[in-house]
Structure 1
Amino acid sequence: MIHEIAPHVLDNQFKIQDPKPNDYCLVYNGSKSLLKKEGNGYALPTVAEIQKLGFEDFEGHYLLNIDERAFFLLAVAEDYAAPEGYEFTGNRAFRPMAPVERLGGATAAHIAHWEALNKFCGKCGNVTIRGEKERSIICPKCGNVVYPRISPVVIIAVRNGDKLLMAHNIDNPNPMLFLISGFVEVGESLEQAAHREVMEEAGVKIKNLKYFGSQPWPFSDSLIAGWTAELDGDDTIHMQAEELSEALWVKREDIPPYATDVSISCCLIENFRTGFTLPET
């Protein structure tokens, strides 16, 4: 999964650190990241490369380290035009990158998005500042403190004998089938959210819900909790058309291999496809 980068080590503790020329720099315009065009994909620019674009007096601030190589953030205006050889892109551009750049870049974009949403205090409207002792946004007028937004999500692999409940979200440009998932609502436990999401999106009940694992998902400012479950009763699917374009039971032998280096969804699917089951605890 995206956070499994061993032997590389992520250090995301808050600190103040000066940039080095070879450190990475995420330039963020409030909604997208400035990346270098590289063949058919993209690459993260370094501090030195960003300085050559007219930011000689570098004013970016430190975000995190991976293997002692730091990631910095430089916020620019929304109308800042991408220089030749660069492009402002959404978070999906990080997904094909190598593990270190993928995790570091997407996590940096997660923080950048949070900062961009909190330039002004949500309580009194005053201009905010960054905290100096921890990762936070502080209002110097009323003292309101805002911490990074991490939204909990559940994703569920529902089994029906040798079949798996698979679906395709209407907002996902990837045509492959994945699993039922959704955000946890206020006042709801993770388990309650799992039951609700399956019922809302597929119209079926589940039982024997078991925790599988979790992962950070910076592409939607989330932390995802993965679960396995079994069908409880009628297997007739009543698909929520507002959310999904497809929802169906897929036989184990009809499921193609899924790469497990990025998402817990693929790990859950592979867990079912290969016939692996978690040991009883």
Structure 2
Amino acid sequence: MIQDIGEHTFDNQYHPCPPDRESYALYYEDHAALVRKYPDRIEFPKFRDIERLNEDIYEDAVYLFSIDGERYYLVEEINRERQSHFTMENTEIFRYAEPQYLAFAGITGYQLHNWYQSRRFCGKCGRRMKKDSKERMLYCESCHNMEFPKICPAVIIGVTDGDKILMSKYAGRTYKKYALLAGFTEIGETLEETVQREVMEEVGLKVKNIRYYKSQPWSFTDTLLMGFYCDLDGGAAITLDREELAMAEWFQRDEIPVEPERDSITNEMIIRFKNGEV
């Protein structure tokens, strides 16, 4: 999965020290990130690459995290040279770009960028928010409101019936590949209750024997995904919620039209079932 970066060490502790010329500068605009693309890899700019046209870049940078001791910072409102080798690329590039640890850095930085952008002002009194010096938190000096990074819990659901698994495709989304059922946890709801509710809402089925698999941070949508397998409880006839899903079908293990990919827990759960590991 995208966060599995092997021997590389990711440190997300907040250490608000100033950057130097060799620190990495992560810059985003809407759904795009500033990267240099090679045929076989990507690269992020370092401060030395963009300092000439950005005199205040060292003062305005926000510390994000480190990987293998190398520090990554968020920078905003920079000037870019027209002939620069760095270009704005859609953040979907981080689903497949190499090396994987840089793809993970890029999408994790994007999640924090979105949080900082949406928390400029206090949601309680409207005053300007301030960055804390000890932890990754924004606070309001006026009403003392505190804001921490946004993380939304959601479930990925592998509904099985013997040697069959239920797979679906989303309605109205650019992502057209096969997926498992999924949904966000509501207020006052356990994860297991989320599994039962989402299956009933999306395909009209009851499930039992709900069992946790593993979790995954999914920074593309500010989400912490938690995977569950469960068994069909009763009839297998599907009643499709067409507002959420374009299709949902049962697939035998040996007929699953999905191949292994590196990025998502959804793919990993499908492949485990396909290989007879569930």
User: TM exceeds 0.5?
Assistant: yes
CA displacement at 1:238 relative to structure 2: 1.2
The separation in 1 between residues aligned to 2:230 and 2:261, in whole angstroms, is: 20
Answering whether residue 273 of structure 2 is matched by residue 272 of structure 1, we say: yes
Query: What is the match of residue 47 of structure 1?
Result: 47
CA displacement at 1:239 relative to structure 2: 1.3
Aligned residues: CA RMSD = 2.2
Query: What is the match of residue 107 of structure 2?
Result: 106
Which 10-residue stretch deviates more, 34-43 or 257-266? 34-43
Unaligned runs of 5+ in 2: none
Contact 1:22 1:47 in 2 (8 A): yes
Which 10-residue stretch deviates more, 100-109 or 168-177? 168-177
The separation in 1 between residues aligned to 2:206 and 2:248, in whole angstroms, is: 14
Answering whether residue 214 of structure 2 is matched by residue 213 of structure 1, we say: yes
Assess, with a 3 A threshold, how the Cα gap between structure 1 residues 165 and 83 changes in structure 2: closer, same or farther: farther
Q: Superposition pairs for residues 72-87 of structure 1, below 5 Å?
A: 72-76=73-77, 83=82, 85-87=85-87
**CA-to-aligned-CA distance 1:183-236 (integer Å, 9 cap, x gap):** 111111100001111111111111111000001111100101000011111111
The separation in 2 between residues aligned to 1:160 and 1:143, in whole angstroms, is: 52
Query: What is the match of residue 12 of structure 2?
Result: 12
Contact 1:169 1:246 in 2 (8 A): yes
Contact 1:2 1:263 in 2 (8 A): yes
Contact 1:31 1:113 in 2 (8 A): no
Query: What is the match of residue 22 of structure 2?
Result: 22
Query: What is the match of residue 151 of structure 1?
Result: 152
CA displacement at 1:86 relative to structure 2: 4.5
CA displacement at 1:72 relative to structure 2: 0.6
Assess, with a 3 A threshold, how the Cα gap between structure 1 residues 273 and 7 changes in structure 2: closer, same or farther: same
Query: What is the match of residue 193 of structure 2?
Result: 192
Query: What is the match of residue 93 of structure 1?
Result: 93
The separation in 2 between residues aligned to 1:122 and 1:31, in whole angstroms, is: 24
Unaligned runs of 5+ in 1: none
Query: What is the match of residue 129 of structure 1?
Result: 130
Answering whether residue 61 of structure 2 is matched by residue 68 of structure 1, we say: no
CA displacement at 1:23 relative to structure 2: 2.7
Read off the aligned partner of 1:21 and give its amino acid letter. R
The separation in 2 between residues aligned to 1:211 and 1:248, in whole angstroms, is: 23
Read off the aligned partner of 1:22 and give its amino acid letter. E
Contact 1:29 1:76 in 2 (8 A): no
The separation in 1 between residues aligned to 2:258 and 2:240, in whole angstroms, is: 25
The separation in 1 between residues aligned to 2:173 and 2:94, in whole angstroms, is: 16
**Aligned structure 1 segments of 4 or more residues deviating by more than 6 angstroms:** none
SS at match of 1:75: coil
Read off the aligned partner of 2:181 and give its amino acid letter. I
Query: What is the match of residue 255 of structure 2?
Result: 254
Answering whether residue 115 of structure 2 is matched by residue 120 of structure 1, we say: no
Q: Superposition pairs for residues 158-177 of structure 1, below 5 Å?
A: 158-177=159-178
* TM-score, normalised by the number of residues in structure 1: 0.90
Query: What is the match of residue 56 of structure 2?
Result: 57
CA displacement at 1:127 relative to structure 2: 0.9
Answering whether residue 229 of structure 2 is matched by residue 228 of structure 1, we say: yes
Contact 2:3 2:101 in 1 (8 A): no
